[in-house]
Amino acid sequence: MGSSKAISGVAPPPSFVVTVYEKQYSPSLTVGLIYIFNLIVGTGALTMPLAFSQAGWLTSIVIICLLAFAGFVNATFVIEAMAAANAIIKHKRKVRKKEVRSSAGIRQQFEFEHC
């Protein structure tokens, strides 16, 4: 890096050019699963031992069992709601197909009678 004199307000030309190629980062499946696990579990798993020691074994186990049951009931309700919504969608499609078939049949019958 030799000495170069700057002309009033003009920077000296660069002595070398650095070209940066950015590699697009794409996490692997394992990294994605670890992120999802971390999102679901969070830091609650790290505080469980302290909570157990402060609340006592029996209280902690009872509360965890109640929370697990509430989670199970919640998941069951979500699955039932999704199944009911799917049944409604299928029923509407079936009714729509019947309407299209019946209207097509009426048109064909009308054309046949008036020929």
Query: pLDDT tens across 80-90, in order?
Result: 999 999 999 99
pTM of this structure:
0.50
83 within 8 A of 74, measured Cβ to Cβ: no
Q: Tens digit of pLDDT for each residue in 9-33?
A: 666 566 666 666 777 778 889 998 8
